[in-house]
Amino acid sequence: MTNHWLMKSELDVYPWSQLQIDGWTHWDGVRNYQARNMMRDDMKVGDMVMFYHSNCKPPHVAGIARVRREGYPDFTSWDAKSKYYDEKSSPDNPRWFMVDIEPVLSFDSIVDLPSMRGEVNLEDMPLLRKGQRLSVQPVPEEHFEHILRMAGHTMEDVE
DNA sequence: GCCAACGTTGGC
DNA sequence: GCCAACGTTGGC
Protein backbone atom coordinates (compact mmCIF):
# COMPACT_ATOMS: atom_id res chain seq x y z
CA MET A 1 0.00 0.00 0.00
CA THR A 2 1.60 3.16 -1.21
CA ASN A 3 1.05 6.31 0.71
CA HIS A 4 1.33 9.85 -0.50
CA TRP A 5 3.07 12.79 1.10
CA LEU A 6 4.04 16.38 0.64
CA MET A 7 7.42 17.75 1.63
CA LYS A 8 8.33 21.41 1.74
CA SER A 9 11.62 22.92 0.79
CA GLU A 10 12.47 26.56 0.52
CA LEU A 11 13.31 27.40 -3.05
CA ASP A 12 16.62 29.01 -2.14
CA VAL A 13 17.65 26.29 0.31
CA TYR A 14 17.15 23.06 -1.64
CA PRO A 15 15.20 23.34 -4.89
CA TRP A 16 13.70 20.61 -7.02
CA SER A 17 16.30 21.29 -9.70
CA GLN A 18 19.02 20.39 -7.22
CA LEU A 19 17.34 17.10 -6.39
CA GLN A 20 17.35 16.30 -10.09
CA ILE A 21 21.05 17.07 -10.29
CA ASP A 22 21.86 15.07 -7.16
CA GLY A 23 19.75 12.08 -8.16
CA TRP A 24 18.67 11.57 -4.55
CA THR A 25 19.01 13.27 -1.21
CA HIS A 26 18.54 12.68 2.48
CA TRP A 27 15.82 14.87 3.93
CA ASP A 28 17.85 16.22 6.82
CA GLY A 29 17.15 19.07 9.16
CA VAL A 30 13.54 18.43 10.08
CA ARG A 31 13.20 19.42 13.73
CA ASN A 32 9.52 19.01 14.37
CA TYR A 33 8.21 16.00 16.24
CA GLN A 34 5.11 15.39 14.14
CA ALA A 35 7.12 15.49 10.94
CA ARG A 36 9.80 13.31 12.51
CA ASN A 37 7.28 10.69 13.53
CA MET A 38 5.93 10.45 10.01
CA MET A 39 9.40 9.99 8.55
CA ARG A 40 10.42 7.53 11.24
CA ASP A 41 7.25 5.45 11.39
CA ASP A 42 5.02 5.93 8.37
CA MET A 43 6.96 6.67 5.19
CA LYS A 44 7.79 3.51 3.27
CA VAL A 45 10.02 2.74 0.30
CA GLY A 46 8.08 3.54 -2.84
CA ASP A 47 5.79 6.11 -1.25
CA MET A 48 5.15 9.12 -3.47
CA VAL A 49 6.11 12.63 -2.41
CA MET A 50 4.96 15.96 -3.79
CA PHE A 51 7.92 18.32 -3.75
CA TYR A 52 6.66 21.72 -2.62
CA HIS A 53 8.57 24.99 -2.87
CA SER A 54 7.76 27.36 -0.01
CA ASN A 55 8.90 30.91 0.55
CA CYS A 56 8.66 31.90 -3.08
CA LYS A 57 6.16 33.60 -5.35
CA PRO A 58 3.99 31.81 -5.87
CA PRO A 59 4.59 28.76 -3.67
CA HIS A 60 4.09 25.62 -5.73
CA VAL A 61 4.48 21.88 -6.25
CA ALA A 62 7.36 21.32 -8.68
CA GLY A 63 7.38 17.57 -9.13
CA ILE A 64 7.02 14.11 -7.70
CA ALA A 65 9.66 12.20 -5.78
CA ARG A 66 9.72 8.76 -4.24
CA VAL A 67 10.97 7.41 -0.93
CA ARG A 68 14.09 5.35 -1.60
CA ARG A 69 15.13 4.72 2.00
CA GLU A 70 12.92 4.56 5.06
CA GLY A 71 13.40 6.46 8.29
CA TYR A 72 16.86 6.43 9.84
CA PRO A 73 18.66 8.76 12.24
CA ASP A 74 19.45 12.25 10.96
CA PHE A 75 23.19 12.32 11.44
CA THR A 76 23.36 16.09 11.14
CA SER A 77 21.74 16.20 14.58
CA TRP A 78 24.97 15.11 16.30
CA ASP A 79 27.33 16.99 14.03
CA ALA A 80 28.44 19.98 16.09
CA LYS A 81 29.34 21.85 12.91
CA SER A 82 25.91 21.45 11.37
CA LYS A 83 23.31 24.17 11.65
CA TYR A 84 20.90 21.37 12.52
CA TYR A 85 22.98 20.26 15.51
CA ASP A 86 21.04 19.23 18.60
CA GLU A 87 23.11 18.50 21.68
CA LYS A 88 20.42 16.15 22.96
CA SER A 89 20.76 13.82 19.99
CA SER A 90 23.49 11.20 19.65
CA PRO A 91 24.22 8.07 17.58
CA ASP A 92 23.25 5.96 20.60
CA ASN A 93 20.08 7.90 21.23
CA PRO A 94 19.03 9.72 18.07
CA ARG A 95 16.29 12.25 18.45
CA TRP A 96 15.72 13.15 14.79
CA PHE A 97 15.07 11.03 11.74
CA MET A 98 15.05 11.43 7.98
CA VAL A 99 14.27 9.54 4.78
CA ASP A 100 15.97 9.51 1.40
CA ILE A 101 14.03 10.57 -1.69
CA GLU A 102 14.68 10.55 -5.43
CA PRO A 103 12.96 12.44 -8.25
CA VAL A 104 10.38 10.60 -10.34
CA LEU A 105 8.54 13.20 -12.39
CA SER A 106 9.19 16.85 -13.11
CA PHE A 107 5.96 18.75 -13.73
CA ASP A 108 5.49 20.17 -17.19
CA SER A 109 3.70 23.03 -15.52
CA ILE A 110 4.04 23.69 -11.80
CA VAL A 111 0.92 23.71 -9.65
CA ASP A 112 0.86 26.88 -7.61
CA LEU A 113 -0.86 27.58 -4.33
CA PRO A 114 -3.49 30.02 -5.67
CA SER A 115 -4.57 27.40 -8.22
CA MET A 116 -4.89 24.77 -5.52
CA ARG A 117 -6.95 27.15 -3.40
CA GLY A 118 -9.30 27.52 -6.33
CA GLU A 119 -10.07 23.80 -6.48
CA VAL A 120 -13.22 22.59 -4.77
CA ASN A 121 -11.76 19.09 -4.77
CA LEU A 122 -8.85 20.24 -2.61
CA GLU A 123 -10.92 22.21 -0.13
CA ASP A 124 -9.99 20.12 2.89
CA MET A 125 -6.35 19.61 2.01
CA PRO A 126 -4.16 20.24 5.08
CA LEU A 127 -1.70 22.30 3.07
CA LEU A 128 -4.38 24.89 2.40
CA ARG A 129 -5.40 25.32 6.01
CA LYS A 130 -4.49 28.60 7.58
CA GLY A 131 -1.60 28.38 9.95
CA GLN A 132 -0.49 24.87 9.09
CA ARG A 133 3.27 24.72 8.91
CA LEU A 134 4.18 21.06 8.91
CA SER A 135 7.05 20.51 6.51
CA VAL A 136 6.08 16.86 6.02
CA GLN A 137 2.43 15.99 5.67
CA PRO A 138 0.24 13.19 4.35
CA VAL A 139 -1.74 13.75 1.16
CA PRO A 140 -4.90 11.73 0.50
CA GLU A 141 -4.59 9.81 -2.75
CA GLU A 142 -7.49 11.68 -4.36
CA HIS A 143 -5.77 14.99 -3.68
CA PHE A 144 -2.51 13.63 -4.97
CA GLU A 145 -4.13 12.47 -8.17
CA HIS A 146 -6.02 15.72 -8.59
CA ILE A 147 -2.86 17.79 -8.34
CA LEU A 148 -1.13 15.47 -10.79
CA ARG A 149 -3.92 16.14 -13.26
CA MET A 150 -3.63 19.88 -12.68
CA ALA A 151 0.00 19.50 -13.75
CA GLY A 152 -1.03 17.73 -16.91
CA HIS A 153 -0.08 14.26 -15.75
CA THR A 154 -1.77 11.08 -14.60
CA MET A 155 -0.94 8.42 -12.04
CA GLU A 156 0.55 6.33 -14.84
CA ASP A 157 3.34 8.86 -15.12
CA VAL A 158 4.56 8.01 -11.63
CA GLU A 159 4.18 4.25 -11.74
C1' DG B 1 8.30 43.69 5.90
C1' DC B 2 4.26 42.25 8.43
C1' DC B 3 1.98 39.27 11.19
C1' DA B 4 -0.95 35.10 12.39
C1' DA B 5 -0.40 30.59 13.82
C1' DC B 6 1.93 27.40 16.16
C1' DG B 7 5.73 24.96 18.78
C1' DT B 8 9.06 25.24 22.44
C1' DT B 9 11.05 26.87 26.65
C1' DG B 10 11.35 27.82 31.31
C1' DG B 11 9.76 30.08 35.62
C1' DC B 12 6.58 29.31 39.04
C1' DG C 1 0.98 21.41 34.96
C1' DC C 2 0.11 26.17 33.62
C1' DC C 3 1.10 29.81 30.79
C1' DA C 4 3.77 33.92 29.23
C1' DA C 5 7.55 34.87 26.42
C1' DC C 6 9.91 33.89 22.60
C1' DG C 7 11.31 31.90 18.06
C1' DT C 8 10.00 30.07 13.59
C1' DT C 9 7.26 29.31 9.54
C1' DG C 10 5.53 30.93 5.58
C1' DG C 11 1.73 33.30 3.04
C1' DC C 12 0.64 37.74 1.80
Cβ proximity of A99 and A26 under 8 Å = yes
What is the average pLDDT value for chain A, to the nearest integer? Answer: 95
Asked if A34 CB < 7 A from strand B, the reply is yes
Q: What Å value separates CA A159 and C1' C5? A: 49
* Centroid of chain to Cα A55: 15
Chain A residues 100 to 119 with C-beta below 7 Å from nucleic strand C: 113-114, 117
Instruction: Give the CATH class of A4-157.
Output: alpha beta
Q: How confident is the model at residue A31 (pLDDT cuts 50, 70, 90)?
A: very high
Residue A49 CA and nucleotide C5 C1' are separated, in Å, by 36
Is the pLDDT confidence value at A152 over 80?
yes
- Predicted local distance difference test score (pLDDT) of residue A159: 84
pLDDT, position A48? 97
Gap from A89 CA to B12 C1', in Å?
28
